[in-house]
Amino acid sequence: MIRHIVFFKLSGNLNETAKKRQIDFPENTFLSLLKEQIPSIREYEAGINFNASLHAWDIVMGSTFDSPNDLNVYRNHPLHKKVIEQEAYILKNVYIADYQPD
């Protein structure tokens, strides 16, 4: 099993409603479609960070895959690339971590 975790720092000072809109699957059609159209995704989740620290990130997304190859299928999928392109304007920084849990 492979876990793919992405931390997002959003541009500007978005309020909680604007942050929530970025991860709400019914409202954010692209995110809904990722799990629906990329079968290599086993699990997909997202949440807003409630930690008020200056070092905290705004949004975290996590996904699970069976293998590194399945993760690469996701990374290179045209829909995933389109999501990245569509959301880039609101992102200040992105950190990614991929790992294999014990």
CATH code assigned at 69:
3.30.70.100
- Domains in the chain, number: 1
DSSP bridge pairs for 96: 6
Tens of pLDDT along 31-82? Answer: 778 888 899 999 988 888 888 888 889 889 999 999 999 999 999 999 899 8
Greatest CA separation for the chain: 38
CB neighbour list of residue 2: distance below 8 Å, 6 or more residues apart: 64, 65, 66, 67, 68, 70, 71, 98, 99, 100
Tell me the C-alpha distance between 77 and 59, whole Å: 22
- The structure's pTM equals 0.81
Domain that holds residue 62: 2-99
What is the distance between the alpha carbons of residues 56 and 54, in angstroms, rounded to a whole number?
6
Question: In this predicted model, what pLDDT tens digit does every residue of 36-48 receive, in sequence order?
Answer: 889 999 998 888 8
Residue 5 pairs with which residues in a beta bridge?
62, 97
